[in-house]
Amino acid sequence: MPPPLSYGEPKPYNRCFLSQENFLSLEDDLLKQRLERIREIEALGYRAYGHRFDFTHTIPAILAAYATKTAEELLPEVRVRVAGRMMTVRHMGKAGFAHLQQNGERFQIYVKKDAVGERDFQLFKLLDIGDIVGVEGYLFRTRTGELSIHAERLDFLSKTLLSMPEKWHGLEDVEIRYRQRYLDLIANPEVRKVFVTRARIVASLRRQLEALDFIDVETPMMQPLYGGAAARPFVTHHNTLDIDLYLRIAPELYLKRLVVGGLERVYEINRNFRNEGLSTHHNPEFTMLEFYQAYTDYRGLMDLTEALLKQTALDAAGSTDIEYCGEHLDFSHLERYTMSEAIVRFWEGDDRPTLDDVASRDWLLRHSGKPTAGEALADIFEQRVESKLIQPSIIYDYPVETSPLSKTKADDPAFVERFEIYAAGMELGNAYTELNDPQEQRRRFEMQIVLRERGDDEAHQMDEDYVRALSYAMPPTGGEGIGIDRLTMILTGSRSIRDVILFPLLRPEGPVDLVRSLRELDNEAKRP
């Protein structure tokens, strides 16, 4: 094999002079065959890359309408025109069968030379698995009973140059599945279902929120200051303004400005970006639903959350009983525990604390390395409880230290009116009664700045305009964020967040040799 070529370099060899067929790699060989096949298809009078095709049915529509019909019920003949990607083919001399796939479903066609004529039959013999074709004919049942199209005409619509994944096992290499999602979608019908369900989840949430008079808004993804969450941001740069901008880690502070402005119920479903590690539960860009409702508090949001999740489960999965990794999750209601109660209840081991223990500063500091009682409480919760919250649950009343944007409880300023939603051991969402006192908000930001100066680069920056906005009076408001990716994981039974994101972030894969091969074969074809 010659070394790989970079683009501008002169070729150190010329394949024409080598005149060795087997010098070509398999892939080049295949490409060459397919490119030659395009010429043969064109010689028969078809276009290799067709234009419009007017179909009478999609494949799923035919199946929906006729899958249960008997041979007798298909008389008089039902004529159809359909298009699809050829996924299997069985040639038998002067006839053959193939399956076309469209929108995730397959339908068999029967192509008989006597029925389609010489030219279309020549075309049929030239088809490769993966080609996109159109077919016209009538419905019938084969000897083995499969509903099929008895073809009377074939059209050629688009040529595949590369071979499809293996027909029996499909595409299993997860790296190829994520990098070349188009192939994954062709080869693995269940993958398509996951993303259809994801779309249903988003549609369900939008429909429910719209019904409650929430307004769909879009706020900046590129922000001069980042806030609304504790996370490290991505940084980018605007050339004309010559300023650095941050990809948002949350839309929160903008959405609350809108509540100040009188958009009393707003929601946004969009991407957040956090410059952190990747895992089965974390992708650097992820989709959040955030919504804000004036004149409610976290108790009101708990009820709303319960209703939202229940209906979303019904719309997306058809049931509130969701099986996830061997567990039955019941989305018909949400268990509610304070953080302190959850620690007592889900503690594993002999030294189970009492509620008094969990309220004791000494006990808390003995069980965590964190400097304050509140941080210790949150730390202990995360370490010992979070992963055990399998059933959909609400954990409420968070320590003030970890919640710079939440309103404190009237009867206990050490805690804030905040809750998080958990299911399958994962955090699904976060909500609180919004802090709307600008003086208090200013103090909280200043506390964050102290943390930042101590080296915590996830601490909030001072957002002066946000304090200014609150100074115009924000109504009492409840706000909530729900992670769409994680919710989708649960409602589709996906173990990894990468399975619910069409193009999850991966390291770049390096050079793809296909372009070079195509160029060389093109040059070769043009040579006299």
**Footprint on residues 174-193 left by RNA (CB under 7 A):** 174-176, 178
> Closest separation between CB of residue 144 and RNA, Å?
3
219: CB partners within 8 A, 6+ apart: 248, 251, 254, 255, 258, 268
Q: Are 292 and 405 in contact (CB under 8 A)?
A: no
Q: Which residue in the set 169, 454, 526, 527 belongs to the binding site for RNA (CB under 7 A)?
A: 169
Site string for RNA, 88-117 (x = CB under 7 A): xxxxxxxx-x-x--------x-x-xxx---
Q: Which residue is listed with tokens 């994520």?
A: 178
> Closest separation between CB of residue 185 and RNA, Å?
14
Q: Which residue is listed with tokens 């996109």?
A: 132
- The reply to whether 521 sits near RNA by the rule CB under 7 A is no
- The reply to whether 512 sits near RNA by the rule CB under 7 A is no
Using the contact rule CB under 7 A, the part of the chain among 27-35, 43-51, 255-263, 468-476 near RNA is: 27-35
Using the contact rule CB under 7 A, the part of the chain among 198-206, 236-244, 470-478, 505-513 near RNA is: 505-513
Using the contact rule CB under 7 A, the part of the chain among 158-166, 359-367, 438-446, 514-522 near RNA is: 158-166
Q: Which residue in the set 78, 151, 164, 424 belongs to the binding site for RNA (CB under 7 A)?
A: 164
- The reply to whether 319 sits near RNA by the rule CB under 7 A is no
Enter the DSSP assignment of 243. E
Q: Under DSSP, is residue 282 helix (H, G, I), strand (E, B) or coil?
A: strand
Enter the DSSP assignment of 434. B
Using the contact rule CB under 7 A, the part of the chain among 188-196, 201-209, 306-314, 492-500 near RNA is: 492-500
Q: How many CA atoms lie within 13 A of 504 on its CB side?
A: 20
> Closest separation between CB of residue 23 and RNA, Å?
8
280: CB partners within 8 A, 6+ apart: 495, 496, 497, 498
Site string for RNA, 450-469 (x = CB under 7 A): --------x-----------
> Closest separation between CB of residue 104 and RNA, Å?
17
Site string for RNA, 402-421 (x = CB under 7 A): ------------------x-
Q: How many CA atoms lie within 13 A of 388 on its CB side?
A: 13
Using CA atoms, how far residue 137 sits from 69, 83, 88, 107, 251, in Å, is 17, 12, 19, 13, 54
Nearer residue to RNA within complex by CB, 107 or 294:
107
d(CA 70, CA 77): 12
Nearer residue to RNA within complex by CB, 251 or 504:
504
Using CA atoms, how far residue 117 sits from 142, 207, 380, in Å, is 20, 52, 76
- The reply to whether 26 sits near RNA by the rule CB under 7 A is yes
Estimate to the nearest angstrom the gap between the alpha carbon of 256 and the chain centroid: 27
Environment class of residue 483 by beta-carbon count within 10 Å: exposed (0-12), middle (13-18) or buried (19+)? Answer: buried
Q: Which residue in the set 224, 284, 300, 475 belongs to the binding site for RNA (CB under 7 A)?
A: 284
> Closest separation between CB of residue 350 and RNA, Å?
21
Residue 141's nearest CA partner among 229, 217, 74 is 74
- The reply to whether 430 sits near RNA by the rule CB under 7 A is yes
* CB neighbours of residue 392 within 10 Å: 25
Q: Which residue in the set 154, 186, 230, 269 belongs to the binding site for RNA (CB under 7 A)?
A: 230
Nearer residue to RNA within complex by CB, 264 or 402:
402
Nearer residue to RNA within complex by CB, 280 or 439:
280
Nearer residue to RNA within complex by CB, 246 or 264:
246
d(CA 144, CA 487): 43
- The reply to whether 142 sits near RNA by the rule CB under 7 A is yes
Q: Which residue is listed with tokens 């919760």?
A: 381
- The reply to whether 506 sits near RNA by the rule CB under 7 A is yes
Strand 477-483 vs strand 426-433: parallel, antiparallel, or unpaired?
antiparallel
Q: Which residue in the set 11, 29, 371, 465 belongs to the binding site for RNA (CB under 7 A)?
A: 29
Residue 28's nearest CA partner among 10, 47, 39, 15 is 15
Q: Which residue in the set 39, 79, 167, 345 belongs to the binding site for RNA (CB under 7 A)?
A: 167
